[in-house]
Structure 1
Amino acid sequence: MKEFDVVVIGAGPGGYVPAIRAAQLGKKVAIVERKKIGGTCLNVGCIPSKALLRHSEMVEEIQKANSWGIKTGELSIDFPKLMKRKDQVVQTLTGGVQHLLKRNNITFFQGEALISDALVVSIGDGKIKGKDILLATGSTPFIPPIKGLDKINYHTTDSFFDLKELPKSMTIIGGGVISIELAFAMAPLGTKVTIIEVAPDILLTEDLDARKIIKKQLQKKNIQTIIKAKIQEVQKGKVILADQEISFDTLLVATGRKPNIEVTKELNLKMDASNKFVAVNDDYETSKKHVYAVGDLVGGYQLAHAASAEGLIAVHAMNGDHPQPLDQTKIPRCVYTHPEIASFGLNEEQAKNAGYDVKITTSNLAGNAKAIAMGETEGFIKIISDHQYEEILGAVIVGANATELIGEILAMKHSEGTMNELASMVHAHPAISEAIGENANALLKQAIHM
């Protein structure tokens, strides 16, 4: 039986990133994956959805160009070719991960992992042993108990990216981030999209002002959004609500995900207060010594980069490095709609509850020179700060390239800079990032263009 210093279960971002770091630290590392290298993110999540979103953005850019005077003629969609490009993007990235594992001399095992109490990992007929085990098994789509759902064909996010033909009409049950992103991806291509959400609103994890802008954009794209829906039954080709019926030729159920905890059962790991996630300490070690868990297994943000960051802390803890705990307020959260939403840290209510003397400054993009030139004036930059010490507590950006722009404010917070330092930065002109400087200067009552 082969022995390793570290055995990682799961080859998604929460697994392969810490596996590589462990190898860099001189560890003998093995990684076990039952499906595909890259996990949900690279294969059926972050990456394919962003490829489709890019396709739809190009359609909208062409339409905008036509309205500006750049005539392109009739627009047609070759959906199979778009999906082929999506596959190429995925293959490029998963191939890159395979290369990185080989370059770092990480032994890869394909198959279902079963872990014994003695930290022996069984993969089919073979067995390996690890001094430390890292569980990064991710999650699977949660399917709500809707009457009739088990009798019809429907997609989850695990199967949606295998579509061969462009749907004429698509109904999405669920109004979370992935649902809204896929609505933005499909509607510009010509699909009639309807979103059904049982909660009081869509995107409940996001800033209220950001939600208002996204709902306005959904209306512009003729995407029907039904909130507070009472789903009575699903039948072939239609969802029956209490007050209406919604027809479709493709149904997507995107109502969240649940952690893959099957591999943990033999270890009898302690669960958290909700009894849904594995309980861990600041180093991501579970109730069993030398067994660590990260990502969707432990709750928190179900984000690829969060899982990677957690995994890095875990392997450094295995190495005896005493890493600093992960600061949840420094994890960026991104929604790749059009315009994009990006945020981090505390919102106003959370900051007040934490005892801060809260100050909110907001700069709109409507007056930003670069945004006007780009035709991307929908959006704003909002910064939550502590009035007494000018500490940056959180931020929300809605606008073009928001997911890139958020890094500037987050970098300032990470380096312990304040709103005063942010205000004193010289920004290029014209640039959307100028609105960040304007925002910080507004706190000091020195904004020029606000």
Structure 2
Amino acid sequence: MAEKSFDLIVIGAGPGGYVAAIRGAQLGLSVAIIEREHLGGICLNWGCIPTKALLRSSEVFHLMHRAKEFGLKADNIGYDLDAVVKRSRKVAGQLSGGIGHLMKKNKVTVFMGTAKLAGKGKVSVKTDKGSEDLSAKNIVVATGARARNLPGLEADGKRVWMYKDALDPPHMPKKLLVIGSGAIGIEFASFYNTLGAETTVVEVMDRILPVEDEEISKFAKKQFEKQGMKIMQKAVVKQLDRAADKVTAHIETGGKVEKHEFDTVISAVGIVGNVEDLGLEDMGVKIDRTHVVTDEYCRTGVDGLYAIGDIAGAPWLAHKASHEGVMVAELITGKHAHPVKPESIAGCTYCHPQIASVGYTEAKAKELGFDVKVGRFPFIGNGKAIALGEPEGMIKTVFDAKTGELLGAHMVGAEVTELIQGYVIGRQLETTEEDLMNTVFPHPTLSEMMHEAVLDAYGQVIHM
């Protein structure tokens, strides 16, 4: 079969790959994209989007139980887990289908199959119809990552789950153990706990949500415990004994190992990059702990070969991958490309309460040598938060005392995953405390707390 030539080949059609393909096509390149499973990748099909659909259902369920607070009546409140999951899968399917439409619209050639680098500028694709040989001057590897399986804690899809099992569960957990308190673990813990599962979260570090600012982690922990979650910090699951209807977890804390019984376990202990069987090592690409080593422009060191998204390392976020996809396409076509700055990428966790952050934590800023000014404002001081019935939360800002630069912002509470973008834009535009103080925030909104947290850092807070 004759070799097919393109200007750009993208391997992987997740939020990094499909965006790189679209931007490349917009800039006049002939583009091919190769995907072995689902257009949209893990994010659209088994990650970001379906989890948010599940969490929305649990949020509505939670509010239904609070109907009396709002002067409303709701009797015989319940849920149909199959229907909740069906809605989540429908949302994911709708968006995945939309990616197919975008590929056609932008004249991107799609190959559904497994790709392997076959030499400089060459890719072979195995499809269900045979094999294809492709070539391009530029190749972008965007194969993403998968959940980490620890020895002895491997998922079986029955009583021990990974994220895919938790998104389409074989049963509703009654007594649930979640191993790991990063974004994925906490989101599933929040979902199942809200639906009534007796939930325990085990975290090996000294606090949950360890990448977040310490104050935010502590605040979130208190809220989770109020909701009935059991949080075990500085704890390690050493062993899982599996039976037909239960799992016995051997959990070590303080040097002692105790046995605890659960009917379901979710393992959320990080991810590993999908670097195998791509031919990367044969091309001379350096791989460090399952991730491709790149420079700030996602170049691998091999001419014409780039790696973006989860496979290229932290932060493992869809929006980071998408931005890198745009950057690489623009770099290839001679545009002035802007490298991604990890400290300017917001992180969002969609548990209840929500958590969002950008930039340095207070501890990290001090570690880097900054003299800091820190401001805080509680949700209880905000009229809109009280009107919403969401008075639990806080916003924290960290500034460079010398220059007024916004070094970081950290939030916990209702809708903070939407609010955080205000600070992201502020950092991108290099605004100072004076710019933020002089900005008029609309009333009544949750965003007013962003203003007050800035004012508090400089001793000018109004409503506290």
TM-score category of the 2 structures, normalised to the smaller one: over 0.9
The residue number in structure 2 matching 1:271 is: 286
Distance 1:257 1:337 in 2: 20
Q: Following TM superposition, by how much is the alpha carbon of 1:322 offset from its aligned partner in structure 2, in angstroms?
A: 3.6
* Equivalent residue letter for 1:344: V
Query: Secondary structure, in 3 states, of the residue corresponding to 1:131?
Result: strand
The residue number in structure 1 matching 2:240 is: 234
Moved more, 153-162 or 250-259: 153-162
* Equivalent residue letter for 2:463: H
> Gapped runs of 5+ residues in structure 1?
none
Distance 1:264 1:310 in 2: 22
Distance 1:404 1:264 in 2: 40
* Equivalent residue letter for 1:239: A
Query: Secondary structure, in 3 states, of the residue corresponding to 1:202?
Result: coil
Deviations 1:332-391, CA, capped at 9 Å, x for gaps: 111111111111111223223434331111111111111111121111111111122211
Q: Following TM superposition, by how much is the alpha carbon of 1:168 offset from its aligned partner in structure 2, in angstroms?
A: 2.3
The residue number in structure 2 matching 1:14 is: 16
The residue number in structure 2 matching 1:178 is: 184
Give the 4+ runs in structure 1 shifted more than 6 A: 147-152
Q: Following TM superposition, by how much is the alpha carbon of 1:161 offset from its aligned partner in structure 2, in angstroms?
A: 1.5
* Equivalent residue letter for 2:280: K
1:166 and 2:172 aligned = yes
* Equivalent residue letter for 2:383: A
Distance 1:90 1:189 in 2: 21
1:217 and 2:232 aligned = no
Residues 106-125 of structure 1 correspond to what in structure 2 (within 5 A)?
Answer: 106-124=108-126, 125=131
Distance 1:206 1:383 in 2: 13
Q: CA 1:235/1:369 → structure 2, altered by over 3 Å: closer, same or farther?
A: same
Distance 1:413 1:267 in 2: 40
Distance 1:330 1:356 in 2: 17
1:412 and 2:440 aligned = no
Distance 1:294 1:314 in 2: 8
Moved more, 66-75 or 25-34: 66-75
Distance 2:326 2:157 in 1: 43
Residues 18-29 of structure 1 correspond to what in structure 2 (within 5 A)?
Answer: 18-29=20-31
The residue number in structure 2 matching 1:363 is: 377
Distance 1:437 1:163 in 2: 42
Moved more, 34-43 or 437-446: 437-446
Deviations 1:187-232, CA, capped at 9 Å, x for gaps: 1112222222233222111111111122112212222222222433
The residue number in structure 1 matching 2:365 is: 351
Q: Following TM superposition, by how much is the alpha carbon of 1:104 offset from its aligned partner in structure 2, in angstroms?
A: 0.2
Distance 1:139 1:276 in 2: 9
- Within the candidate set 208, 215, 218, 2:214 is matched to 208
Moved more, 435-444 or 364-373: 435-444
Tell whether the 8 Å contact from 1:231 to 1:239 is kept in structure 2 after alignment: yes
The residue number in structure 1 matching 2:437 is: 423
Higher strand share: 2
- Within the candidate set 51, 54, 61, 1:52 is matched to 54
Moved more, 143-152 or 81-90: 143-152
Distance 1:338 1:110 in 2: 38
Query: Secondary structure, in 3 states, of the residue corresponding to 1:244?
Result: strand
Tell whether the 8 Å contact from 2:274 to 2:290 is kept in structure 1 after alignment: no
Q: CA 1:426/1:113 → structure 2, altered by over 3 Å: closer, same or farther?
A: same
TM-score, length-scaled by structure 1: 0.95
- Within the candidate set 375, 380, 386, 2:400 is matched to 386
Counting matched residue pairs gives 449
Distance 1:369 1:413 in 2: 27
Query: Secondary structure, in 3 states, of the residue corresponding to 1:426?
Result: coil
> Gapped runs of 5+ residues in structure 2?
none
Query: Secondary structure, in 3 states, of the residue corresponding to 1:85?
Result: helix
Distance 1:162 1:149 in 2: 14
The residue number in structure 2 matching 1:246 is: 260
The residue number in structure 2 matching 1:445 is: 459
